C-alpha cells in the first residue's frame, strides 16, 4: 500500500508538486499521468526516498519513507526512468548480486533468474557485461531486478521506453498480473492507451497540481457532457480536456490580473 498525504515539493522558488494526496491499495494498479514537467518523477522519487518532501508524508506498506526508510525500502521494488546498472557485471552476476542483497535462497534465486532471462529472451546474453546491452535489454534487466525479490509494492517510472512491441505487451501483462495477485503497483507513463488498459485509477497532474483523480468513469464524469465530453470518451480525450481546461483557466486568471 502507498499513502501520499499533502505532498508538496519546492525547488527554490519553483513549486514542482502542490498538495498531492492519494492512496494505492493492494490489488490496485494506479497510473500517474501528466505532460512533461508535471511532477510525476518528483513524486516517484519522494515515494522511493530519493527526494525529501518539502512538506507532507509518504508511507509505503505502512512505513514512513523518511522516518523508517529501511523497512519502507524493503517493501518495494523500483524501476526508475533512467536505470543504473553496474556495467562491469554480467546480467547473471547482477541478478545474483540482487538476490544476495535480498537474502533470497540461492538455489531458488538461480531458478527464478533463468526463468526471467528466458521470459525476456535474454538467456543468451546473461553472461555478457551489462554495459554491452541495448537500451531495451537494460530496461528488461532492470525490470527483473525489481521483480526478483517479489516485493509487495512495485513503483515504476516510464516502463515502456525502449521496449519492442512484444516486450511492451509482456510487461503490460506482467504488471496487470502483479496487481491481480494482490500486490500494489504505481506507474507513470506517457502512454495513454497503456494507462487506459491497465490502470484501475488514474491521477492526472499538470504543473504539480492534480487535474483529475479517479477511475476512468469518474474522470469521464468530471469532464462530462456539460464540459463538451461524451460518455465513453477515451482517456486520451479526457486527458487533453483536463489539460486544456486548466490552460484556459490560467489564461482567464492572467487576463483578469492584467485588467
Ligand atoms: N532537482 C531539481 N531541481 C530543480 N527543479 C527540478 C528538479 N527536479 C525536477 N525539477 C522541476 O520540477 C518539475 C517537475 O519535474 P518532474 O521531473 O517531476 O516532471 P515529470 O512529470 O516527471 O516530467 P517528464 O514527463 O518530462 O519526465 C519540472 O519543472 C522540473 O524542472
180 C-alpha vs ligand 1 centroid, how far in Å? Answer: 31
Beta-bridge partners for 184: 153
The grid coordinates listed for 10 are 519546492
Q: What angle, 0 to 180 degrees and rounded to 10, lies between the N-to-C axes of helices 106-119 and 91-101?
A: 140
- 3-class SS letters over 85-139: CCCCCEHHHHHHHHHHHCCCCHHHHHHHHHHHHHHCCCCCCCCCEHHHCCHHHHH
Residue nearest to atom 5 of ligand 1 (CA): 11
**Ligand 1 in reach of 229 Cβ (< 6 A):** no
Instruction: Name the nearest CA neighbour of 159 among 122, 198, 214, 129.
Output: 198
Question: What domains lie within the chain, and their CATH numbers?
Answer: 2-214 (3.40.50.300), 215-259 (no CATH)
Ligand 1 touching residue 16 (CB < 6 A): yes
Distance 39 CA to ligand 1 centre (A): 6
Taking a C-beta distance cutoff of 8 angstroms, is the pair 17, 43 a contact? yes
From first to last of its 259 residues, the chain has per-residue pLDDT tens of 999 999 999 999 999 999 999 999 999 999 999 999 999 999 999 999 999 999 999 999 999 999 999 999 989 999 998 888 899 999 999 999 999 999 999 999 999 999 999 999 999 999 999 999 999 999 999 999 999 999 999 999 988 888 889 988 999 999 999 999 999 999 999 989 899 999 999 999 999 999 999 999 898 888 876 666 666 778 888 898 888 888 888 888 888 887 7
What is d(CA 91, CA 96) in angstroms, rounded to the nearest whole number?
A: 9
pTM reported for the whole predicted model: 0.90
C-alpha cell read off for 51: 527526494
Which ligand 1 atom is at minimum distance from the Cα of 38? 21
**ipTM over the 0.85 cut-off:** yes
Amino acid at each position: 500500500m502507498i499513502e501520499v498525504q499533502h505532498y508538496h515539493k519546492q525547488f527554490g522558488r519553483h513549486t514542482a508538486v502542490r498538495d498531492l494526496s492519494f492512496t494505492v491499495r493492494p490489488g490496485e494498479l494506479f497510473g500517474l499521468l501528466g505532460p512533461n514537467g508535471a511532477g510525476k518523477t518528483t513524486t516517484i522519487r519522494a515515494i522511493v526516498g530519493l527526494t525529501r518532501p518539502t512538506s507532507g508524508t509518504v508511507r509505503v506498506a505502512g512505513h514512513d519513507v523518511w522516518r523508517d526508510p529501511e523497512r519502507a525500502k524493503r517493501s518495494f521494488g523500483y524501476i526508475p526512468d533512467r536505470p543504473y546498472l553496474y556495467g562491469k557485471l554480467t546480467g547473471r552476476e547482477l541478478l545474483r548480486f540482487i538476490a544476495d542483497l535480498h537474502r533470497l535462497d540461492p538455489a531458488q534465486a538461480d531458478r527464478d533468474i533463468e526463468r526471467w532471462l528466458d521470459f525476456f529472451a535474454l538467456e543468451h546474453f546473461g553472461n555478457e557485461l551489462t554495459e554491452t546491452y541495448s537500451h531495451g535489454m537494460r530496461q528488461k534487466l532492470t525490470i527483473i531486478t525489481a521483480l526478483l525479490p517479489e516485493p509487495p509494492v512495485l513503483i515504476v517510472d516510464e516502463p515502456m521506453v525502449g521496449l519492442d512491441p512484444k516486450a511492451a505487451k509482456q510487461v503490460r501483462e506482467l504488471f496487470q498480473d502483479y496487481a491481480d495477485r494482490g500486490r500494489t503497483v504505481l506507474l507513470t507513463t506517457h502512454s495513454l492507451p497503456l494507462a487506459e488498459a491497465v490502470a484501475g485509477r488514474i491521477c492526472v497532474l499538470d504543473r504539480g497540481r492534480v487535474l483529475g483523480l479517479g477511475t476512468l468513469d469518474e474522470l469521464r464524469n468530471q469532464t462530462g457532457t456539460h464540459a463538451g465530453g461524451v460518455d465513453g470518451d477515451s482517456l486520451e480525450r479526457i486527458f487533453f480536456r483536463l489539460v486544456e481546461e486548466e490552460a484556459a483557466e490560467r489564461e482567464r486568471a492572467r487576463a483578469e490580473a492584467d485588467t
